[in-house]
Structure 1
Amino acid sequence: MTASAAVNGPTAAAPEPRDRWGAVVACGLAVFITAVDLNVVGVALPTLGRQFDASPSAMQWVILAYALPMVAFILPAGRWGDGVDKRKAFVLAVAGFGLASILVATSRSLEMMVAARVVQALFGALISALVLATIAISVRPATMGRAMGVAASLGPLGGAIGPAGGGLLIDWAGWQWVFLINVPVCLVAGWLAWTAVPASDARLRPPRARWLVDAALLGIAGAALVLGLQEFGRLGAGLAVGAVLLVASVVAGALWLRRRDARPVVQLLRNRMVNRWMLGLFFAATLNGVLTFLTPFLLTRGIGASTSVTGFTILALSAGMVVFAPLGGTLTDRWGAHPMAVLGALLLLAGAVLMLPAGPTWGVGDVAWRLALVGAGTGLIASSTQTAVMTSTPPQLGATAGALSALVLNLGFAVGPAASALAWQLVDTDIARTTPAYAVGAVAAALTVLALLAAPRRSASAPGPGAGPSAPEAAGA
């Protein structure tokens, strides 16, 4: 056999696939900076209110201008991401997020800042949709858990660093640097993605105009759901308003489900390999939303802790996630997603149940270790569940699955505070009567256990390109 035949002939060995950890780090940095940005704004609001001479009710739009478009555009962003080259799309997303951050930092009025925050949210939605899909094409299935663990740990790390770091930046350098700090991180993430993420033959193309209708319906459904739950907590006339808003949410969601671009999402949710894991993620996020809303009231009004002590105590929740998400990913690669997810759910349930008797007789340490227990369970669930979802999803729907996962997490974090506030309102918000509110979290934790126990014990490998819709069809072409 000639040398060329030895190299090019049918018996030539295919190159071994390799893990592209630079791509994983790029995704982790993107998750980190979007989490920082989401959590740092609350610290900056008083300073921004003085800067723009705006009322607190007006300043809430700095947050809503980011949160609402994220919910509205994340699934259309996933639909777009499935039809384009992931490397180019990811670089575009982080570059756009960095440029939008500059626009926010250079805003001369509240109106300009709100508009810039909307632009920032659009690119943030694209990042959230692309992260899991980009990791999935950059590492081997045997190391998927470890890669997912990196991303799952950097999100809560950003959430924990954001408020404290933002306060220091505002004091030392001015509020603009709360947003400008995003730029160098985006540059590094973009460079790493360009050099490490595998390229494909797909090109970037403009989004479909019809996706604006999808975004509007999804935005209405999400906003009406959260606002409806909040109105229920007002009781009296709020019950009627809440009922109307919940009906509006259901109607908007039903209209969206009838649209063409909802079909791939419905296809994923009909897959038992995916829907049980998504349910587990949702209920785990709901519990975390309950704890982050209710526990500061317990610490400050019940136990009498200072604001700074309260902030450090709440960090125990994030610390548990940061430590256990990478560990959960490593163990997922070794033992599988199902046992790690169920173990995480049991830790979640234990922490939630142990929070039920919370009251003024507790100390800060009593709260901290319980939060750390929930954080550990959440970290195990996040890395194992996202690994299971991506290994059970057809490659041509990877960005849609990633977007759906991010949407489920965001909805859980939003529903948790609203539902626990309603339960607390029913017992007159006495700090000594938090058990009904914490019971909402315990129920969510129990549902997490049930959902993950019902999940398949083995995540099937994602079907090949021939299974499910083709790439153009998946992208809504």
Structure 2
Amino acid sequence: MRKWSPLIAVCLGTFLLLVDVTIVVVALPTVGDEFRAGYADLQWVLDGYALALAALLLGAGSLADRYGRRRTYLAGIGLFAFSSLLCAIAPNEQALIAARILQGAGGAAMFATTAALLNVTYQGRDRGTAFGIWGAVNGAAAAAGPLAGGLLTEHFGWRWIFLVNLPVCLAAVWFTVRGVTESKAPSGGRFDLPGTISFTVAAGAWTYALIRAGEAGWTDTLALAAFAAGALASIAFLAAERRSDHPMLDLALFRQPSFAVLIVAAFLTQAAAFGYLPFTTVWLQQVLGNGPVDAGLYGALPMAAASLVVGAAAGRLLQRVAPRWTVGLGLLLIAAGDLLQARLDADSSGAALIPGLILVGLGVGSVLPSLSSAVLGAVPRERSGMAGGALNTFRQLGFALGVAVFGTIFANRVSDGHGQPAAFADGLNAMLTVAAVLAVIAALLVLAVVPSRDAGVGSRGRDALEPAGR
């Protein structure tokens, strides 16, 4: 049992931080009713977490390399537990959003160290077993989130979504202290403070600008100021990374066309496959009158289940196919699934979403594992940690900005239709159509740029895959 204590510790933390990305989705209408919160506030309950997770992930990896991965992981668990308690007792939406941002910071410290801890703990066949189980936990978190959130919200109240994190965090700490040894990078990584600050400001400003524009109009002073701040912070980030001797994201990696296109594909995949789910949940509950459990069953479980089936049944086969095909064709499946859902009207039921969600799930199950392998195989072995961190960062950023963009579209259509059922359906159809376009753009880029190979992961990619948690 002691041999597998590090794996248990890492899997518990990974499950928590990933399930909390989606577990809140079906609770949003209930939270909105209790706090009398609008769409913009509900978007920030999701985006606050995802943005903090994305913005701090690479910086947390640098801190872990310098000060110790075990220490950073334990600090992340402690912060995640504390912020989960703050979420559970939040008296209003502002306090909940602030606690979710703090929770995302804890999640970043955990996520940045998980795979690195496994990589230094296990060798040979044990390492392969550990990474296989860890990968399965990643997929299970996506499937469990909406359903667990629905069950807890409907039967115990939405605050229990966060309270259940506390005993799991305690268990993760116990297994970490008991079985995980400390490790650091041989040279001791440096923390890229200018890069971290500028990237965080840029991501937050762009997201705020999109949400504010959807709420107050595209000519709103605050929205325009936020767009300007986002642009300036983005320029500052690029300048900081070019000048830094130890950048958290080496911009030279983007000179490799395959790497650059695959990162863009990861960003657009998260938006096209997941960014609209919070708003289908609002439709299912506020318009159709479904409870949180039914909203989870209709609105997310078909996708998650289909994705898991693909991963379990065809995971090894997918790794033998060139990423150009698994990622490119998988994205086309996501686009087809989005369009299949975009046929709603005032009389549609939740069941109308299921066929399209299954198609999206099949695409996600093909795209995400192949993306990881392809990104890590496209860079030198010594850059695998940074490449893996960049992949996870842009995936979470794609979700956060996707929610912001789709929220703007949805709110405008619902407002124009005075909140009638047909207006909700029209808003969902518009979002899903845009999502399909994004998936098609990503697919065409991948099919045009990523080269064909006999295998999805070369020897360099297999070596790089293991330390991908940075």
Same fold (TM over 0.5): yes
Residue in structure 1 matched with residue 76 of structure 2 by the alignment: 97
Q: 1:274 to 1:327 in 2, by over 3 A?
A: farther
Which amino acid in the other structure matches residue 351 of structure 1? G
Residue 359 of structure 1 contacts residue 433 of structure 1 at CA under 8 Å; is this kept in 2? yes
Matched, 1:154 2:154: no
- Map of 1:410 onto structure 2: 396
SS at match of 2:446: helix
> 1:456 corresponds to which residue?
451
CA 1:323/1:104 → structure 2, altered by over 3 Å: closer, same or farther?
same
1:194 is aligned with what amino acid?
V
Aligned: 1:393 with 2:379: yes
Q: Which moved more, 1:221-230 or 1:264-273?
A: 264-273
Q: Using the TM superposition, name which of 392-401 and 237-246 deviates more.
A: 237-246
Match of 1:71 in 2: 54
Is the CA contact 2:302–2:358 (under 8 Å) kept in the aligned structure 1?
Answer: yes
CA distance in 1, matches of 2:377, 2:135: 14
Secondary structure of the structure 1 residue equivalent to 2:320: helix
What is the Cα deviation at residue 370 of structure 1? 1.3
| Whole-angstrom distance in 1 between the partners of 2:270 and 2:189 | 33
1:296 aligns with 2:281: yes
- 1:320 corresponds to which of 284, 302, 306: 306
Q: Distance in 1 between the 2:266 and 2:349 partners?
A: 30
Report the CA distance shift for 1:390/1:161 in structure 2 as closer, same or farther (over 3 A). Answer: farther
Q: Cα–Cα, structure 1 residues 297 and 185, in superposed 2: closer, same or farther, change >3 Å?
A: same
2:10 paired with 1:35: no
**Correspondence 1:443 to 2:437:** yes
**Preserved CA contact (<8 Å) 1:325 1:376:** no
Write the letter of the residue equivalent to 2:228: V
Query: What is the CA–CA distance in structure 2 between the aligned matches of 1:431 and 1:112, rounded to whole Å?
Result: 28
Q: Tell me how far 1:386 sits from its aligned partner.
A: 0.6
Q: Deviations over 1:359-414 (max 9, x none)?
A: 23333222122112212211221111111112333333233222211211111112
- Residues 128-207 of structure 1: pairs in structure 2 closer than 5 A: 128-131=111-114, 149-164=135-150, 166-167=152-153, 170=156, 177-187=163-173, 190=176, 194=180, 202=185
Q: Distance in 2 between matches of 1:333 and 1:283?
A: 21
Instruction: Indicate the structure (1 or 2) with the bigger Cα radius of gyration.
Output: 1
Alpha carbons 1:331, 1:340 under 8 Å: kept: no
Q: How many residues align?
A: 437
Residue type of the alignment partner of 1:308: V
**How far is 1:276 from its partner?**
1.8
- The one of 198, 212, 229 aligned to 1:248: 229
Q: Which residue pairs with 2:210 in the alignment?
A: 229
- 1:49-108: per-residue Cα shift (whole Å, max 9, x none)? 99xx99869x98887764443233222123345x459xx51x334422332344346668
Amino acid of the structure 2 residue aligned with 1:295? T
Please list the CA deviations of residues 25-46 of structure 1 after superposition, one character each: whole Å capped at 9, or x if unmatched: 6554432111234445678899
**Contact 1:100–1:116 under 8 Å retained in 2:** no
Closer, same or farther in 2 for the Cα pair 1:338/1:290, shift >3 Å?
same
- Does the CA-based 8 Å contact 2:66-2:189 persist in structure 1? no
> Residue 280 of structure 1: which of 248, 265, 285 is its match?
265
Does 1:329 find its partner at 2:318? no
1:125 — aligned with what? 108
User: Which one-letter code corresponds to 2:460 in the other structure?
Assistant: A
Partner-residue secondary structure (3-state), 2:275: helix
CA distance in 1 between partners of 2:409 and 2:35 (Å): 33
Contact 1:346 1:377 in 2 (8 A): yes
Query: Which amino acid in 1 is paired with 2:368?
Result: A
User: Deviations 1:405-462 (Å, cap 9, x if unpaired)?
Assistant: 1211111112222222333455425124233222111111112311321322235543
Aligned partners of 1:442 and 1:93: how far apart in 2? Answer: 39
Residue 292 of structure 1 and its aligned partner are, at CA, apart by 0.5
Q: Tell me the distance in 1 between the aligned counterparts of 2:374 and 2:287.
A: 40
Q: Are residues 1:214 and 2:211 paired?
A: no
Relative distance call for 1:365 and 1:27 in structure 2 (3 A) is same
CA 1:462–1:135 in 2, change beyond 3 Å: closer, same or farther? farther
Equivalent position of 1:15 in the other structure: none
Letter in 2 for 1:361: D
CA distance in 2: counterparts of 1:447 and 1:64, whole angstroms = 24
Once the two structures are superposed, residues 256-314 of structure 1 have per-residue CA deviations (whole angstroms, 9 ceiling, x without a partner) of: 11111447431222222322221111111011233303322443455554443222211
Q: Which moved more, 1:240-249 or 1:224-233?
A: 240-249
Q: In structure 2, give the amino acid aligned to 1:215.
A: T
Q: Is the counterpart of residue 338 in structure 1 residue 324 in structure 2?
A: yes
> Secondary structure of the residue that 2:337 maps to in structure 1?
helix
Superposition RMSD on alpha carbons, in Å? 4.4
- Report 1:357-436 matches (<5 A): 357-427=343-413, 428-429=416-417, 430-434=423-427, 435-436=429-430
Asked if the contact 1:228–1:245 (Cα under 8 Å) also holds between the matched residues in 2, the reply is yes
**Contact 2:410 2:424 (8 Å CA) reproduced:** no
One-letter code of the match for 1:445? A
Whether the 8 Å CA contact 1:153–1:326 is kept in 2: the answer is no
**Gaps in structure 1 of 5+ consecutive residues:** 1-19, 468-474
Q: Distance in 1 between matches of 2:16 and 2:154?
A: 17
SS of the residue aligned with 2:451? coil
Amino-acid identity (%): 22
Given that residues 210 and 223 in structure 2 are in contact (C-alpha distance below 8 angstroms), is that contact kept between their aligned partners in structure 1?
A: yes
CA deviation profile, 1:181-208 (whole Å, cap 9, x unmatched): 332452476379738xxx9774696863
Offset at 1:149?
4.5
Q: Distance in 2 between matches of 1:179 and 1:251?
A: 38
1:350 counterpart = 2:345: no
Q: Describe the shift of the 1:246–1:192 C-alpha distance in structure 2 as closer, same or farther (beyond 3 A).
A: farther
- Relative distance call for 1:148 and 1:360 in structure 2 (3 A) is farther
Structure 2 spans left out of the alignment, 5+ residues: 418-422, 465-469
3-state secondary structure, aligned to 2:353: helix
The verdict on how the C-alpha distance between 1:184 and 1:148 changes in structure 2, with shifts beyond 3 A counting, is: closer
Map of 1:14 onto structure 2: none
CA distance in 2, matches of 1:105, 1:424: 29
User: Aligned to 1:457, what secondary structure does the other structure show?
Assistant: coil
The whole-number CA distance in structure 2 between the counterparts of 1:47 and 1:365 is 22
Q: Residue deviations 1:215-264, cap 9 Å, x none?
A: 22111101111111122323646455433322221210111111114474
Counterparts in 2 of 1:313 and 1:161: CA distance versus 1, 3 Å: closer
In 1, Cα distance between the equivalents of 2:286 and 2:95? 37
- Contact 1:349/1:449, CA 8 A, preserved across alignment: no
Q: Which amino acid is 1:77 matched to?
A: A
Distance in structure 2 (CA, Å) of the matches to 1:118 and 1:432 = 31
CA contact (8 A) 1:32 1:158 kept: no
Q: TM-score, normalised by structure 2?
A: 0.76
